[in-house]
Amino acid sequence: MAAQKGAARSRSGAKPPGTAAPAGPTRGELLAYYRDMLLIRRFEERAGQLYGMGLIGGFCHLYIGQEAIAVGVQAAKRPGDQMITGYRDHGHMLVCGMDPREVMAELTGRSGGSSRGKGGSMHMFSIEAAFYGGHGIVGAQVSLGTGLALANAYRGDGKVSWAFYGDGAANQGQVYESFNMAQVWKLPIVYVIENNEYAMGTAIDRSSSETRLHKRGVSFNIPGEEVDGMDVTAVKTAAQRAAEHCRRGKGPYLLEMKTYRYRGHSMSDPAKYRTREEVDEVRKTRDPIEHVEDLLEKHGWADEAALKAIDAEVKRIVADAAEFARTSPEPDPSELYTDVYTEA
């Protein structure tokens, strides 16, 4: 396997002059990245099964293939930094530390869910984990994330807001209004563009006049760079660089993560706009989890038995989460009247 995935290499921009090359990841870090990405994938695979069984209703957008982005950014965050994203959000929740049981129960609309079964797949939230949603309106989270950064700047607390959005949201007007405000006020926010090439189902070169999305901040004097979003170590390094820029009071930063989703836009999407051969080629040459496997095996830090043990542990966690979701009761009808207004 070590000789196989040579394509997963960083394509991020050049480092600023005088910046030393970062040290490579340690054994412990790589094993943690591997486990976290594997947890997301196994969780999403089980969520897909539950959807097929009719236990998850409405929309369900899986993160399979994009795991390195959420994991790499989480590795670069500091405690208290906020994360906000769109509706492909299960992976972000898990890396923020939300309980897999509560996330899966929310997907199935059960009372044991993180939003007591009232948010579903696209609208979860956890103040404790500094995760501010899951948002179903395309691009809405960009403005909300900018508001989080404004609060950070106002308080002077040194926190950074991380706002994730996709290539499909990149053409939304509120994104550019947010860019302008963030740069004028030098707000501490990193805009993370998860460019999986197809938005809802249209190739980016058919929908965008400028496909190099990291350049979208140029007219606002916001620096940006392209990153191999299938390489968790490249993601972490670029995220650290972006966060340092923000924490020094230099304003916002754009990171375009070049990635690829293996499934359709949502579970109801047959993805007929691309070929099976294209998907298989990415799986074979750029898979983010197998890339970390290669690194672990290359350094002699983990053998096949050790990796299988991690997989077995992750599968137990996911199976437990699925059983909790299946057996947790549905919300009481009285929940319709809670969380509507803030009580004085």
CB atoms within 10 A of CB 245: 18
Task: Give residue for tokens 């070929």.
Answer: 275
The predicted structure's pLDDT at residue 340? 84
The predicted structure's pLDDT at residue 2? 37
The predicted structure's pLDDT at residue 24? 85
Write out the two tokens for 277.
Answer: 């051969």
Helix (H) or strand (E) holding 74: helix 67-76
Percentage above 90 pLDDT, the chain: 87
Block means of pLDDT (10 residues each) for the chain, length 344 residues? 37 42 83 98 97 93 97 97 97 96 96 91 92 94 98 97 97 96 98 96 93 96 98 98 98 98 93 94 97 95 95 98 96 88 75
Per-residue DSSP letters for 32-65?
Answer: HHHHHHHHHHHHHHHHHHHHHTTSS-S-----TT
Phi, psi of 258 (to 5 degrees): -80, 110
Cα–Cα dist 120/341, whole Å = 20
SS3 content of the chain, % helix, strand, coil (to 5): 45, 10, 45
Helix (H) or strand (E) holding 224: strand 224-228
**Cβ–Cβ < 8 Å for 148, 160:** no
Phi, psi of 261 (to 5 degrees): -95, 135
Spatial CA neighbour of 327 closest among 122, 125, 121, 113:
113
The predicted structure's pLDDT at residue 234? 98
Write out the two tokens for 22.
Answer: 């970062």
Phi, psi of 327 (to 5 degrees): -100, -10
The predicted structure's pLDDT at residue 10? 35
Number of helices (H) and strands (E) in the chain: give both, helices first.
Answer: 11, 5
**Cβ–Cβ < 8 Å for 135, 85:** yes
CB atoms within 10 A of CB 57: 12
The predicted structure's pLDDT at residue 22? 58
Cα–Cα dist 88/74, whole Å = 16
The predicted structure's pLDDT at residue 273? 95
Write out the two tokens for 313.
Answer: 């542990």
